[in-house]
Each structure stands twice: as C-alpha cells, then as structure tokens.
Amino acid sequence: MSAHSPAATSTRLSDGRELIYFDDPGRPPRTTSPDARGLPGRAEPGEVRYDELSGDWIAVAAHRQSRTHLPPAEACPLCPSTSGNLSEIPAEDYDVVVFENRFPSLGPALAELPDSLPWGQSAPAAGRCEVVSFTSSHTGSFGGLPYGRARTVVEAWAHRTAALSALSGIRQVFPFENRGADIGVTLHHPHGQIYAYPYVTPRAAQLGARARRFYDESGGRATLLGALLDRERTAGERMVLDGTHFSAYVPFAARWPLEVHLVPHRHAADFADLTGEEKDELAEVYLRLLQAVDALYDTPTPYIAAWHQAPLDTVLRPAARFHLQLTSPRRAPDKLKFLAGSEAAMGAFITDTRPEQVAGRLRSALAGIPAAAAEPSTGRKARA
Ligand SMILES: [Zn+2]
C-alpha cells in the first residue's frame, strides 16, 4: 500500500494558470484537453501591508469581492466541463485536481517580502493560492471518499507542499479545508485550498516561537508537540484514536467547542516529509476522524481542517511538527459559537464544552465506524 503513487499531469488553463491532475494509481495515462474558455489575462495581484501595531501582514484582496458565490451544480467551476458548463476543469472526468485560484488572495507574483514595510507603503501580494478538488462529484464531502481517493489527496498535498516550498519567497505552506456554508464556504463542491505565504503567519509564528523555546531548553532533544502527545497518550482521557504512526486527541486546553489534534508520532515537518506508510495511515485515520465528527449530529458539522506544517524558516522549522488542527464552532445541534468580544478582540477563548466530554463523544462515534476499507484504488468503479 505504501507505493501509492498517483500520476500527476500538469497543464495550463487559458489564462495561464497551472492545473494538475492527480489520477488514482491504475488509471490509463491522461491526455489533457485545452481550456476552451479563452479567459482574459490574470488579474493584478492584491497587495500586502504591514501592520506596525501588531507586527502582522495583512493581505488586501479587494478583487476577490467578485468571486463565484455558491453557484448551482450546473454552473459549478469544480465539476468536470460539459458543453453547458465550461468549468475550471477542462476534462470529462478526474480523480483529484489542483489548480491556481482564479481569485487569489496571494499571487501570482512571486517575490521575497522584507521583514516589514514602512507605514504608508504596500507590496504586491506575492505567493500562490491553489484549489484542491477532492472528487469530480459535486456532492458529498471528504469524509465520504473511498480510502484510495483520500490517499491520492494526501499524495497531492505532499506533492504541492514540496513544489510550493521550492518557490521563490515562500515561507509557509498551509493546506486547509473549510467545510460548510456556515463558516463561509463559497462552493459546495468538496474541495480544499492551499495557501503559500510570503511570510510566516501570526499563528504559526506564535506556535513556532513556543516550540523553538521548548526545543532549545531540551538541548534540541525534545519537541513541544511530541511532549504534549506523550502526555495526552499517558493521560488517556482525551484520546480519540491511537494508531501506529498517528494519534488524535482533544487537547487539554481546547479553544473550540469541537477541536481535535491529529499528530504524527515521529517528528515530521510537513506532508512532504512523511513516509509512504505514514501517508497510508494518515488517509485512513483522517477519514475515520471526519466520519466521527459527522456522526455527532444529524446534520453535517461545519469544520476547519488546518494542516499545520513547519514554516520554511531556519529558526522555526527544526522545532515545528506537522499536525492537523480540526476545529468546529458547533456547540449544539442548532448553535454555533461566534467569535465575539473576548475571542475576536482579545484572542482570549472561553469555551463551554469540556474537552474530556468532547473526546468521549468522539470515541463513542468512532466505535460505530468500521475501519476504512483500505482497498487498492484501481478500476473506474471506485470513483467517488
Ligand atoms: Zn461541482
């Protein structure tokens, strides 16, 4: 199973954006079709401004106001193209596809960003934003993918992490998925995104600084996330699942009503740093985790799946461990937590769910879910 190597086929859309097909192993070789839309040239990049008050970079992407918002299936940009809907994907069918976002917050320009800019100056928003379509099917969600397809997505994330990390000026690569219109999803079609930033994001910088301090204090022998994983596994009460290469738990001080961290046992930096066996297990446990989340309520639970990868920064990178933070604002069947005064203004989280109870609910849900059928993903019949 660890030899899961989907075929990656790169092509260009009519406005010059790159699109890459990741076909499940065993598919016949792909011949690409041209994008018949004749799109106008790409929009000018937005800009980034440096906020001296906080030390954070802010991307100004006013051009994104015109982007597609919740189109019906017959106008979906992520469905395969038909004569009536020339979509972003000029193909009759596909397994997984990655392409440059038509309305990017960052890019397409690539450039080194200085550490800061004076007040009143801005720089082009360098970087790259990609869309990852998990399936050619308009409905469903990641948790419903067959194992082989999820494994291909994991391979696509690894491929893109390596490629984006090598681009000029990129300092952090962030794959993520927003699921559910309640948290601002603008397309129903199951998909995620990858942002390649020209700076280390505020959250990664905060977590990275703490990880680096712990690493230094241990003389470079231990990592913070590794230590927290060990403590959670010893305590046990917040554990959700325990694998050979990955374990998941609700963190002791979870911020969100629903929050799970999925952490590798080995100190890996990012998707591209995982072994084949680790990626095999990751695809399986991630599917099970999402299925458990969706078993908590009668309706799908909105979530943010945030894949934290080590920044491309010589100081932070050695101490930062790859992991998933899966969070949801849902705190009851019909209630979402909104970030208001304390959280949004002060970053001071107040949660009204006990992490131990959330972990118990997730364990119960998992008990009702069979292990993912890790069948080899050959043959068109397995298409999701
Ligand atoms: Zn669609």
What are the tens digits of pLDDT across the range 291-343?
Answer: 999 999 999 999 999 999 999 999 999 999 999 999 999 999 999 888 889 99
Q: From the CA of 85, how far away is ligand 1's center (Å)? A: 10
Residue 93 has pLDDT above 90, yes or no: yes
Could you tell me the distance, in angstroms and rounded to a whole number, from the CA of residue 336 to the centre of ligand 1?
26
Cα 78 to ligand 1 centre (Å): 5
Q: Is there a single domain that holds both residue 74 and residue 159?
A: yes
Catalogue the active-site residues. Answer: 191
Out of 1-10, 261-270, 286-295, 318-327, pick the least confident: 1-10
Q: Are residues 136 and 72 in the same domain?
A: yes
pLDDT band at 355 (very low <50, low <70, confident <90, very high): very high
Phi/psi-derived region of residue 269, left when phi > 0, alpha when psi is between -120 and 50, beta in every other case: alpha
Q: How far is the CA of 20 from the centre of ligand 1 (A)?
A: 17
Q: SS3 for 291?
A: helix
- Indicate if 273 and 153 belong to the same structural domain: no
Q: How confident is the model at residue 65 (pLDDT cuts 50, 70, 90)?
A: low
Cis peptide before 300 (omega within 30 of 0): no
Structural domain contains residue 140: yes
Question: Same domain for 178 and 296?
Answer: no
Phi, psi angles (nearest 5°) of residue 49? -125, 150
Residue 46 pLDDT exceeds 70: yes
Q: What is the rounded CA–CA span in Å between residue 321 and residue 226? A: 8
Ligand 1 centroid – CA 362 distance (Å): 30
Q: Is residue 260 part of a domain?
A: yes
Percent of the chain surpassing pLDDT 90: 83
- Look at residue 309 and tell me if it is in a domain: yes
CA–CA dist 242, 122 (Å, integer): 47
Tell me, yes or no, whether 171 and 51 share the same domain: yes
d(CA 38, CA 12): 12
Claim to verify: residue 228 and residue 193 sit in the same structural domain: no
Q: If you average pLDDT over every residue of the chain, what do you get?
A: 92
State which H helix or E strand residue 217 sits in. Answer: helix 202-217
For residue 264, the CA-to-ligand 1 centroid distance in Å is 32
Q: Is residue 180 over pLDDT 50?
A: yes
Question: Band of the pLDDT at 114, cuts 50, 70, 90?
Answer: very high
Q: What domain count does the chain have?
A: 2
Do the domain assignments include residue 207? no
Is 374 within a domain? no
Residue 354 has pLDDT above 60, yes or no: yes
- The whole-number average pLDDT for the span 126-147 is 96
Q: Domain limits at 273?
A: 221-367
Q: What are phi and psi of 147, to 5 degrees?
A: -50, -45
Residues 86 and 177 in one domain: yes
- Residue 68 neighbours by CB distance under 10 Å: 14
Over residues 366-376, mean pLDDT? 70
User: How many angstroms does the Cα of residue 368 sit away from the middle of ligand 1?
Assistant: 30
Claim to verify: residue 180 and residue 62 sit in the same structural domain? yes
Same domain, yes or no: 229 and 167: no
The answer to whether the beta carbons of residues 33 and 89 sit under 8 Å apart is no
Residue 70: its pLDDT value, please? 73
| pLDDT exceeds 60 at position 97 | yes
The CA 30 to ligand 1 mean position distance, Å, reads 21
Quick one: pLDDT at residue 283? 98
d(CA 296, CA 287): 15
CA of 131 to the centre of ligand 1 (A): 13
Among the listed residues 92, 87, 81, 82, the one whose alpha carbon sits nearest the alpha carbon of residue 30: 92
Whether pLDDT at 190 is above 60: yes
What average pLDDT does this structure show over 167-193? 91
**Is residue 182 pLDDT above 90, yes or no?**
no
In a domain? residue 83: yes
Range from 163-167, 187-191, 248-252 carrying the lowest mean pLDDT: 187-191
pLDDT computed for residue 260 by the predictor: 98
374 is written with which tokens? 């890790």
Do 232 and 269 lie in one domain? The reply is yes
Ligand 1 centroid from CA 186, angstroms = 12
CA of 73 to the centre of ligand 1 (A): 5
**pLDDT score for 243:** 96
Rg of the Cα atoms in the chain: 21
The CB density around residue 371, as the number of other CB atoms within 10 Å, is: 10
CA distance 222 to 214: 8
- The helix (run of H) or strand (run of E) holding residue 226 is helix 224-235
Q: Which residues pair with 48 in a beta bridge?
A: 59, 123
Indicate the DSSP class of residue 344: I
Find the CATH number of the domain harbouring 265: 3.30.428.10
Query: Does 382 fall in a domain?
Result: no
The DSSP call for residue 113 is P
Backbone dihedral angles phi then psi of residue 100, each to the nearest 5 degrees? -70, 135
Is 215 inside any structural domain?
Answer: no
Confidence of residue 377 (pLDDT cuts 50, 70, 90): very low
Average pLDDT over residues 213-222: 97
Distance of alpha carbon 35 from alpha carbon 56, whole angstroms? 38
Whether 250 and 351 share a structural domain: yes
95 and 233 in a single domain? The answer is no
Return the amino acid letter for 194.
I
Distance 34 CA to ligand 1 centre (A): 19
Contact 151, 274 (CB under 8 A): no
